[in-house]
Each structure stands twice: as structure tokens, then as C-alpha cells.
Amino acid sequence: MNYSTSNKISVFSKRYNIFNFALSLSAKGFTVYLKILFIISLFLAGVGFAFTGNMVIYAQNYKHDSMQVFFPVDGAYSEENSVRPALYDNAKKSLTISLPLTPIGHIRIDPANEATEIVIEKIEFSRLFGVDKYLPKDLLLYAKPLQDIDKLEVTPAGLLIRSTGNDPAFELILKKSSDLYQFIILGIIGVFLSIAVFLCIKKFTQLKMPAVTNVVYIWVIPLFFSLGIAVLFYPGFMSYDTLHALRGARNGVIDSMWPPMVSYVWRVVDLVSVNPSAMHLSQIFLLLFSVVFIVFTFTKQIKYVAVFLPIYLSIPSVLGTLAVIWKDVLMAAFFLAAFAVINSMRRIKNRRYFIFLFLFSTSLIFLGVCSRHNAITGAVPLLFYLALIACSGVIKSCPRLWLAVFFLGTMLTGTVFLAKTQLDNYSLPSFEKMSNSNDFFVRTVRVLDVAGASLCVGGNLFADIAPNLSLNEIKAEYDPRHINLSKGLLDKVVVDSRIDGVWLNVAVHHPVCFLSYKFDLTKYMIGANKGIQFLITAPSVDKNEYGYQLPNSSIRDATVKYIVHASALPFFKPWFFYLLSIGSLIYLIFTKALTPAHVTLFMSAIFYMGGLVLFGNAADARLLFYTTTVLSMFTFISIFEFRKRH
């Protein structure tokens, strides 16, 4: 064989090997794509299952009455599976009702409770994608009178329903094409989304299988747990705070008694789905994704993430908080997402991308600060850590670096807090001036401070503004657990600017007793009080004009029992996790493993707790949700450091 022939065979062999490599890479890529498609399909199926949509009835009754809607279970209607929305009268009104999780093909509507005439202008079924409208002609076609209805007639005002008895009812057959449309749209989104995710993973990981697996797991694990929690507590527990935020989102923000930012965020979520479960799932997923990302960043192994997350979610004060559509979860989600971004900036070399992440993390911190009135204390360590990451890339001299960090961190903190206070004064997007309740909140806390000091001293320290108030009355009306439980005291002590002087006088002359209320407040918040943990929000949806309510669920009820009973166990109380975190901090210091990232996590949690103690007026153990979350992560990360060294 001559050299020429041998060379040709060698070249052919190399080309053949290159071809095989390309073919194997393509096969590997296709396998990865199928995995991504499967995971996204499961996620979208869960989203479609969770976001069942709402039914809105536009009706008018010529008498003061109410309407009732029944959903079939095993083909039968029952009182337990019905919804009675708000009353309606001669004025036209829209009645909003959440649809059940299970698919339905028909519903029963009882439009009144007496012989009368009702006009239904239209009925809308808002789904995840699109809205099904039943206009009067459609209602006449799909409606089937069941009892006490004389006739159904299309009029210019809508479908006229004339009832002849006290229990009129008709059945409405739902269009089957809507479910098929939702399925097709979900399928199209699944294909395009999986292609987009695949191309992103291919670009950033070059299809290295271990990296691809980790990236997928970082998304899948929080999605799985978020969907599970959203479905378990569907549509999410809603307290007065929750409904106040929802009304602000849909009717306009009119005050800053509660943070307006929650309403603005909910307004954006409503663009995707008006089902409250959309807001619930959004805040949970952002939180859990950030938690998973942070734990993985420190441990570098997905198995530790899989171990930590179930432990974290088993904490009663954590799971009980995640069950509620609540500002505390939203704030924690924004803060942890910001920390995840800041921590990732250390490895960024591209200047433009670095600047983008700097602005993005600042925006996330701003959103977190605006989600709770006293969140700024927890944001300070995050902002200074951001300043450290930003300055360390351009300043190498240690004295100059720390000086730059101090000035930049101070500037960021001042800017964020100033922007937050301005947001509380004006309603968006109209920029109308609205009432700011921050001064009132501060003064109510001062009333409780003076009340606690009065009991400690053994005399009425409100004498300058309430001379007739007796010590027994203070003792009877004062409850350190919540401002609402001390309402009787607030009624007897005028909460105005005069309390400021009384408060300052008590702080100067009775410094030890001045901390009495703070001590009682802290004791209840960390679960160090006698008896059960103080968890005030009931597992329910408060009565509301939207018709939202909890469906029957034995699994949810069993979970609520677990939260209540497990919260009494010492190792599930917040103080236990805080004690562990202090031990973890000491360990990291002595082993010289403590980093600025560790310090930031720990100090952010402690600063936030300090802000609640100094300025808070409630001792619900769930209020320390952010502190409990961060310190449990901090402890777990330190355990990983210990395991790595041994």
C-alpha cells in the first residue's frame, strides 16, 4: 500500500470518526431535548390543572337577592359543592366564582330565591388561555330549565329568566371545544418552550450531560414542590391582608396601610391568570427556585438540594406561611432571588452583563423592600454585599475597597429606602397622592412599648395623656402578641403625636422596663413562649366579594393538623433553628471557612428580625419567615462544610 492510499484511508477514517462523533452528539442532544420536553410538559400540565379559571356572571335582579352555582360531583349536585357569591340587586353586577380543579361539563345555576325576573347579560369563563363568552343567544341554546322557571327569553338587555317559585334552577352545558383549545395551546407552548430551553442549555453548557442534568434539576425540583404546595392549598389561604392587596390590584391602590407593591405585582400576575392560585404559585416558585439555586451554589451537588428542601418545607411555621398568599413570602422571594444574582456576579467577566446583573439585583431588592414596610433592615446586608462585589472588581487596595463599599452601600440603601417611601405616597399609574399610614403604625408600637414598661414599673406611664387609666386596665387590655388584641388599650390612649414624647420619656427614665414589650414580642415570635406557637391566620379564605373559597380537601385538612401539632415540638420552633445557626456561625469562624456570602446571609436574617422586634406590632411566629428560611439555609450550608472537611 503506497503512501497516497494510506493517507486517503487515514483521512477517511478521521472523517468517519468525526461523523460518528457528530451523530452521537446529535443523539445525545435529542435525548436531552426529549427530557426537557417531558419535564416542561409535566409542568404545563400542572399549571393547567392548578389554574382552572373563573366564572363571571353579569347579572341584574329587580329585587335584592343572591345567586347560587352548583358544580357536579359524580354527576350529582350538592350544597357542599356550591358557591353563593355576593348579593346583587337592581344594579348590574359581575359575580366572580372560582371553578373547581376537576373538569366539568355542566353546572347548575340557581339565579334567585323567590319568584322574580332576572336578566343575565352574559357569562364568561376565563381560562388560562382566553375567555369563553356565553352571550344571551348562547345561554338560550345551552341552558336547560330544571325547576320553577317559566321561560327563558332573549331581550336587548340580556337573557330574561322569569321564575315562578322560590327555588328556580337551570343547567348550563359547557362547550367541549374550550378544553381542546386549552390542550392545543399548552402543547404548542410546550414545544416552543422546550426548544428555547434546549437551545439555552446547549449554548451555556455545550450539552455536557452532568451540567445539563444539574441545570434541569435546579428548575425541576422547585417547580415540583411549588406545584405540589399550590395544588395542596388551592387557591391559597387568603387573610384580610391578602384580599386588601387583591382589591388594590383590581380596583386601584388607594392607601399604603399595607404595602402597595404587593398589589402592583398581583396586577401583573393577573395579566396571565385572574385565578388567585397564579399569584400563589408565582411567589412560591420564585422563593423555592432561589433557595435551590443558593443551596446548590454553596454545595455544588444536587443531592444536597434534594435533602434540604423537604426538611425546610417540613418546618410548620414555613409550610403554614407558604400556604398563604402573603407579602412575607413575596418579600423573602425577592430578597433571596437578589442574593442569588449577587452571588453569581462574582464569576461574571463580561462588563455589560455585570452591569445588567447589578441593576437587576438592585431592582429585586427594591421590590422586596417595597413588599413589606419594615423590610429595609433585612435589605441592608444585601445592598452592602452588592457594593462589595461591584467594588472588588475595580479596586484592589483593601482600605480603599472598604471605603468604597461603605459609600456605595450607604448610597444604595438610601436610594432604595427613599424610592420606597415615595412609592407609599402615590398610587400608580395615576400618581395620585394617597394616605400614608406609616406614622400611625409607629405610634401604635410606641403605645405597646409604654404599656409593657408600665406593667414592668408597676404604674401608669401614660399619665400625661391618659391620667385616668389604671394599671389594671392596662394589664387587661395589653396583649404583646398582636396590635389587634390590644385594641381596647388603643381606644383608651389617643394615638397621636403626644405619644412620641411619652415614649421618649419612658425610654430615658426606664431603659430596662422600656424593653419589656420587645422581650415579650420576641419570645412569641421565636416560639419561646409557654404553650403552642402563636400562628394567627386561620387556614381559610376570608369572606370576599369575588366568591373565592377553599374546596373540600381531606389532604389539606390533614396538612393543617400537622402544621398545628408539629409546631408544638421544640425542634420545630424558630428558636431552635436560630440556636443552631449561631453554632454554625461559630464553627465557620473557627474553621476560617466564613465568607462574605455567609456573613451576608446571616446578617440579613438577623437584621430583619431586629427590625421586626424594634418596629413590629405583631408576634406571629410566621412573621420571621424570612429569618427562619435564611438561617435554616445557613445552618445546612455549614453542615455541608463540616461534612466536606471530615
Closest by Cα among 88, 108, 96 to 148 = 108
Label residue 288 by pLDDT band (50, 70, 90).
very high
Cell representation of residue 347? 464569576
- Rounded to a whole number of angstroms, the distance between the first and last alpha carbons of the chain is 61
Contact predicate 637/598, CB 8 Å: yes
pTM here is 0.70
- List pLDDT tens digits, range 618-642: 777 778 999 999 999 999 999 888 7
Confidence check: pLDDT of 382 > 80: yes
- Supply the pLDDT for residue 202: 67
Contact predicate 516/523, CB 8 Å: no
The answer for residues whose C-beta is within 8 angstroms of residue 448's C-beta and 6 or more apart is: 478, 480, 483, 486, 489, 517, 617
- List pLDDT tens digits, range 163-199: 888 889 999 988 765 666 677 777 888 788 888 777 7
Q: Which residue has the cell 366572580?
A: 96
Q: What is the mean pLDDT of residues 230-254?
A: 91
Confidence check: pLDDT of 552 > 70: yes
Q: How far apart are CA 646 and CA 548, in angstroms?
A: 53
Question: What length does the chain have?
Answer: 646
Half-sphere exposure of 6 (CA within 13 A, CB side): 3
Q: How far apart are CA 609 and CA 378, in angstroms?
A: 8
Task: Using only the alpha carbons of the chain, give its radius of gyration.
Answer: 29
Q: Which residue has the cell 386601584?
A: 252
- List pLDDT tens digits, range 572-606: 888 999 999 999 999 999 999 999 999 999 999 99
Q: How far apart are CA 166 and CA 185, in angstroms?
A: 43
Contact predicate 366/264, CB 8 Å: no
Least confident of 36-40, 126-130, 297-301, 580-584: 126-130
Angle ∠(262,265,268) on CA atoms, nearest 5: 150
Contact predicate 217/209, CB 8 Å: no
Q: How far apart are CA 176 and CA 408, in angstroms?
A: 59
Confidence check: pLDDT of 323 > 60: yes
